[in-house]
Amino acid sequence: NRNYAISVIPGDGIGKEVMPEGIRVLERAASLYGFTIEQTWQDFACCDYYAKHGQMMPDDWKAQIGNPDAIFFGAVGWPDTVPDHISLWGSLLQFRREYDQYVNLRPVRLMPGVPCPLVGREPGDIDFWVVRENTEGEYSSVGGKMFPGTPREVVIQETVMTRHGTDRVLRYAFELAATRDRKHVTSATKSNGIAITMPWWDERVEEMAKNYPTVTHDKYHIDILTAQFVLNPDRFDVVVASNLFGDILSDLGPACTGTIGVAPSGNINPDRTAPSLFEPVHGSAPDIAGKGIANPVGQIWSAAMMLEHLGEADAAAAIMRAVETVLAQPGLRTGDLKGKANTEQCGKAIADAL
Amino acid sequence: NRNYAISVIPGDGIGKEVMPEGIRVLERAASLYGFTIEQTWQDFACCDYYAKHGQMMPDDWKAQIGNPDAIFFGAVGWPDTVPDHISLWGSLLQFRREYDQYVNLRPVRLMPGVPCPLVGREPGDIDFWVVRENTEGEYSSVGGKMFPGTPREVVIQETVMTRHGTDRVLRYAFELAATRDRKHVTSATKSNGIAITMPWWDERVEEMAKNYPTVTHDKYHIDILTAQFVLNPDRFDVVVASNLFGDILSDLGPACTGTIGVAPSGNINPDRTAPSLFEPVHGSAPDIAGKGIANPVGQIWSAAMMLEHLGEADAAAAIMRAVETVLAQPGLRTGDLKGKANTEQCGKAIADAL
Ligand SMILES: CC(C)[C@H](C(=O)O)[C@@H](O)C(=O)O
Ligand SMILES: CC(C)[C@H](C(=O)O)[C@@H](O)C(=O)O
């Protein structure tokens, strides 16, 4: 059955502008590769919805979304009207948890046409994956305040890691590494400073590694690991990290390859007990929203990741070839990459290159 | 009284190799600028001590250190014999807390002779400070395990922030910015994801900013902030951050300016109720220890920061000029900077350039 039910959630800001281009490319790919996409658009998980309803999503959002094959997401957040922690915890972070999308998967790849801020790096030199734990860890809602509003104020937030939650993301990382040429896993830790959770994380990595004799592994403390991303990005193959460390590394990685404007991500439930969600790494970008100039490549690359997940590997690969072709041409890139195209022109060019 | 009592703690690995060069330059500066340095060397706070005594420091370490004007520290850690969290929590992290060194201050400055990994950046383009909270926050020892060693295992670590601890480091950052040309503070946050402590951190920043009408400020989430360090490092003036975020940024910043091998840091008690501690940013570097090839500049620059703190600003500035002179000459730099000198030759060259 190659008819895919996709829940489409554009969200806020430039999410609403890049989504149509993601859909354009998806539809073109469907007609070329002989599958169909059945879209259901949702108007919630955005700050406009919050303005009308006082919450980011309806109470029955799960029922409304139903059981699609995947969720195609834009970006959420509009801090001028809704504080970020409210908009995010009321939408994206809920999806990740409630749908048990326990892997956040992001490629770090130097693409043609994207100027690299690092000296002497060429497309092909940098090509690795960040595998981020996506449901627990530092992103907990456990904690609170004592003596609030007084000079004695104490604020506590707990990091909660479970063996269940840790082992499964480590397993995903080692499995992924096993399919790659270099077969190497790098673990992000901070066991010298964060002295309860992180030494334990290191132990779990060692345990898991025993199951993968063909995969090599090492670890770096997060501080020096960020330095290594800048100094030796060619060293990495699969980097596995906790929720917060993975968040940091998966913005820093794309920055080291030129821009987070083109980077995609998958929020993946590998057990397929609930839908996975695909979204660009960039946010809603209030500063450029409404101008039609946002770079649609992050959304389009996310479409490719989604198709890969759905089993349409040929279509996914074709989209990536089209993206590379278009990025290589200044007339077809958007302004953030010193190109001349607007969002729609760039999206159309990629659809045509397909 | 220009006689300074300095507690000297070389520590482990290359700490023992770069310390003599730091001392060499310090003594030369003293004789040239007419002050004296009274050194007391300590053999604890290192893994050799641990091997003999089963702990990193004697029980009466505070009494043994006494009340020096400052502590000059090398590096600690030797993971092959003592796990990092034990060696660090038993030494450096204890100093920071027990001596209430609540500011960790690190310059990010592009120096001549240090090849910058970022495209098109010249010495002078990048010049800012990272002000890191150094006693609380994410580096707590509060937490524990439930169901340890079983599949149900849950591990919890608490981040603890206090108004007392937060406000004083923010104040330091705003005061520092007020003395600088650009008068700008950037706060590192993650209030969209870390939803209890970080929104509160943002509030404290806004409160503190009200006292400094001449200082501008903004904030970035830590993920995108690391990206900005790579893409727009010229944008920053003073960056203030929690303990963990500051740890990350103060390794990443020096990496963006070429190497953490030359970066210094001050662990400062601004109220001078206890000694401050000055140390290079690099660690004990087991991989190159014992070869006499480590770069001594981080230790020597730390000596300059220490002299600045002691009120010997002229001598501090002279050391920095000598460092710049030597770094500009390949024959005098160490191998990590594609130079030809070993640790001692580089240290001597800087002392002579004074
Ligand atoms: C060694 C480690 C505990 C320490 C820290 O994380 O503070 C180091 O990275 C630093 O930045 O001084
Ligand atoms: C918006 C924010 C909560 C989110 C995160 O921190 O996970 C984003 O940065 C991301 O990486 O998807």
Q: What is the pLDDT of residues A34-80, one digit of tens each?
A: 999 999 999 999 999 999 999 999 999 999 999 999 999 999 999 99
Q: Is the confidence at residue A259, as pLDDT, over 90?
A: no
Do B249 and B328 lie in a common domain? no
Do B181 and B72 lie in a common domain? no
Residue in the structure block whose two tokens are 């009284």: B1
Q: Which atom of ligand 1 is nearest to the CA of B265?
A: 12
Do A332 and A232 lie in a common domain? no
For ligand 1, atom 11, which residue shows the shortest CA distance?
A: B247
Looking at the domain assignment, is residue B335 inside a domain? yes
pLDDT of residue B4: 98
Q: Is the confidence at residue A324, as pLDDT, over 90?
A: yes
* B192 in A contact zone (CB under 8 Å): yes
Looking at the domain assignment, is residue B294 inside a domain? yes
Do B101 and B158 lie in a common domain? no
* Percent residues over pLDDT 90 in chain A: 95
**Domain boundary at A233, A256, A279, which?**
A256
Do A313 and A222 lie in a common domain? no
Residue B35 · residue B2 · CB < 8 Å: yes
List chain B residues with pLDDT less than 50: none
Looking at the domain assignment, is residue B40 inside a domain? yes
* Selected residue of A157, A162, A208 to mutate for chain B interface (largest B Cβ count, 10 A): A157
pLDDT of residue B147: 95
Residues in contact with B242: Cβ distance below 8 Å, sequence separation at least 6, in sequence order: B132, B133, B137, B138, B161, B188, B197, B201
Smallest CA–CA distance from A115 into chain B, residue: B119
pLDDT of residue B95: 96
Q: Which ligand is nearest to the CA of B96?
A: 1
Smallest CA–CA distance from A285 into chain B, residue: B224
Looking at the domain assignment, is residue A60 inside a domain? yes
Question: Which tokens go with A266?
Answer: 């998958």
* A227 in B contact zone (CB under 8 Å): yes
Looking at the domain assignment, is residue B115 inside a domain? no
pLDDT of residue A343: 97
Do B136 and B222 lie in a common domain? yes
The CATH number of the domain holding residue B250 is: 3.40.718.10
Q: Which residues pair with A106 in a beta bridge?
A: A130
Q: Is the confidence at residue A260, as pLDDT, over 90?
A: no
Looking at the domain assignment, is residue B122 inside a domain? no
* Selected residue of A84, A134, A150, A204 to mutate for chain B interface (largest B Cβ count, 10 A): A84
A230 to B252: CB separation less than 8 angstroms, yes or no? yes
> pLDDT tens digit string along A273-320?
999 999 999 999 999 999 999 999 999 999 999 999 999 999 999 999
Amino acid, res. B10: P
pLDDT of residue A1: 86
Q: Which residues of B touch A254 (CB under 8 A)?
A: 227
* A314 in B contact zone (CB under 8 Å): no
Do A97 and A187 lie in a common domain? no
pLDDT of residue B252: 97
User: Residues 228 to 267 of A: which have CB under 8 A from any B CB?
Assistant: 228, 230-231, 243-244, 247-248, 250-252, 254-256, 259-260
- If you measure from the C-alpha of residue A283 to the centroid of ligand 2, how many angstroms do you get, rounded to a whole number? 8
- If you measure from the C-alpha of residue B193 to the centroid of ligand 2, how many angstroms do you get, rounded to a whole number? 6
Q: Is the confidence at residue A19, as pLDDT, over 90?
A: yes
User: Residues 122 to 151 of A: which have CB under 8 A from any B CB?
Assistant: 138-139, 141, 143-145, 150-151
Do B102 and B26 lie in a common domain? yes
**Domain boundary at B216, B231, B256, which?**
B256
Do A1 and A41 lie in a common domain? yes
- B320-345 burial code (b ≥16 CB/10 A, e <16): bebbebbbeeeebbbbbbebebbbeb
Do A315 and A265 lie in a common domain? yes
Question: Which tokens go with B237?
Answer: 């003036």
The DSSP string of A120-186 is T--TTT-EEEEEEE-SSBT----EEEESTTSTT-EEEEEEEEEHHHHHHHHHHHHHHHHTSSS-EEE
Whole domain around residue A69: which residue ranges? 1-102+261-354
* Selected residue of A252, A256, A257 to mutate for chain B interface (largest B Cβ count, 10 A): A252
pLDDT of residue B85: 86
Residue B143 · residue A197 · CB < 8 Å: yes
For residue B31, CA distances in Å to B69, B105, B282 come to 18, 27, 28
Residue A277 · residue A96 · CB < 8 Å: yes
Q: How far apart are CA B132 and CA B186, in angstroms?
A: 12
pLDDT of residue B19: 98
B279 in contact with ligand 1, CB cutoff 6 A: no
Residue A319 · residue A303 · CB < 8 Å: yes
Looking at the domain assignment, is residue A113 inside a domain? no
Domain count, chain A: 2
Q: How far apart are CA B162 and CA A150, in angstroms?
A: 10
Do B145 and B236 lie in a common domain? yes
Q: Which residues of B touch A198 (CB under 8 A)?
A: 85
Do A177 and A226 lie in a common domain? yes
* B338 in A contact zone (CB under 8 Å): no
- If you measure from the C-alpha of residue B247 to the centroid of ligand 1, how many angstroms do you get, rounded to a whole number? 6
* A194 in B contact zone (CB under 8 Å): yes
Nearest by CB: B141 against A195, A200, A244:
A195
Amino acid, res. B121: R
Q: What is the mean pLDDT of chain A?
A: 96
Looking at the domain assignment, is residue A119 inside a domain? no
> pLDDT tens digit string along A97-142?
999 999 999 999 999 889 899 999 999 899 999 999 999 999 998 9
A223 in contact with ligand 1, CB cutoff 6 A: yes
* A203 in B contact zone (CB under 8 Å): no
Q: Tell me what the mean pLDDT of segment A209-216 comes to.
A: 98
Q: What is the mean pLDDT of chain B?
A: 96
**Domain boundary at B256, B280, B303, which?**
B256
- If you measure from the C-alpha of residue A193 to the centroid of ligand 1, how many angstroms do you get, rounded to a whole number? 6
